[in-house]
Structure formats: C-alpha cells, structure tokens
Homo-oligomer: A and B are copies of this chain.
C-alpha cells in the first residue's frame, strides 16, 4: 500500500494489480500511439498547472483541466502517485537539461553561474510544483538531483578558486542561499527573455554582493 508503484506511464492496458512496471521516460516497452502520447503530455501539463495552484487537487480536477475524462487519466497513470512521480520525472529531466546546457563544468564560473541561473529559472517557472515541494523518493529523480547538486558544488568551488568567492567561503551555505534566491526569483514569472536575463543577473548579483550598500571607504 505505502509502496510507491513504479508504474509511471501505462504503455499497455493494465492487466494485473501490480504487474505492469514500465520505466519512466525512456519507455522500454511499446511506443505510444501519437494521440496517446499527446494526451499524456496534455495531462502532465494540466497537472502541473492545477497542482501548483492546489497541491491537493483531485484527479477529476486535473482531468478537467486537461480536457479529458477522469478515466483516461487513470488509463495513462496507474494511480495518483504514479502521476505525481511521472510529473516529477518529467520536470527533473527538464531541470537536468537546463543545467547541462549551461556547461557548468567548463564555462568560466561567472558565465556559467549566470547561464545556469537563467536556464533553471526558466524551468522552475513552468514546472514549479513538479520540482518543488514533493518528497521525491523516486529512484531516478533523486539521482538526477544528486547529480545536479554535485555539479553545483563543483561550480561553486571553481568560482571560489577563480576569486569570486573568498577562499574560506562556506560553499554549502552559498549553495543554499543560491537555491533560495532562485526559488524566490521564480515567483516573479517574467514574461520576456530580457526580463528573464535581468532577473538572473539580479539573482547572481544578490548572491555575490547582497542588497547592501557596497563599502566605499
């Protein structure tokens, strides 16, 4: 009962109770038909929207927002939990891509910092619920988060070595402040790319220099 089912997306009609376990994104089973795949995405997008507004939303509300029947949601996702898990997996993939795209391990720290910020911000605005407050015990999701965490730590270490941070900086605190700032900034939901970049700049600037008056003796 408490066992979270690994069944994320049903690729075939459900037969038994706990039988059909099809893996997450790289669906190892059968490719869905075009229309079915579209439905899955529609449902995921609706779920993000609805759950962001109300984390306790029912399957029916999600179905309604997606413009499908409730039974269809259950046909595609074995359970409510499976839907949430799939949602997390989906968003996590985007998250990972966003970080990767910034080449945080090779680009100059200052550049990477800005780029990562902007990219992650973009994802977080569209998939805030899926990324945020959900206890991801999921197998694949946790791995990606750990991976991103490691990349983040490496980036901060490089930033320190490059002189952006003091030599004795508490990198863990720095990282957490960074996360918090991104989280806060994501609430702004800028509409244009320019606003996006401006926001990212503001996050990085605040991270490095705070909001106080620079000391000018």
Contact = CB atoms under 8 A, between A and B. Distances in A.
A210 B207 contact: yes
A212 B202 contact: no
Contact of A4 (B56, B61, B180): B56
Contacts of A4: 55-56, 84, 133-135
Copies in the complex: 2
Given A2-B1, A2-B80, A56 B7 contact: yes
A100 interface: no
A16 interface: no
Interface string A172-213: 011011011101100100000000000000100111111111
Interface in A115-173: 133-135, 163-166, 169-170, 173
A10 interface: yes
A54 interface: yes
A52 B73 CA distance: 30
A164 B214 CA distance: 9
A57 B11 contact: yes
Contact of A5 (B56, B61, B184): B56
Q: Which of A2, A170, A208, A212 has the most CB of B within 10 A?
A: A212
Given A1-B2, A2-B1, A183-B180, A169 B211 contact: yes
Interface of A: 1-7, 9-11, 54-58, 61, 80-81, 84, 133-135, 163-166, 169-170, 173-174, 176-177, 179-181, 183-184, 187, 202, 205-215
Given A9-B54, A55-B55, A176-B184, 16 more contacts: A1-B1, A1-B2, A4-B55, A7-B54, A7-B55, A11-B56, A163-B213, A164-B212, A166-B212, A169-B211, A173-B206, A177-B181, A177-B206, A180-B184, A207-B212, A208-B211
Among all A-B residue pairs, the 6 with the closest Cβ atoms:
A208-B212, A210-B210, A180-B184, A174-B211, A209-B210, A180-B180
6 contacts: A1-B1, A4-B56, A176-B187, A180-B180, A208-B210, A208-B212
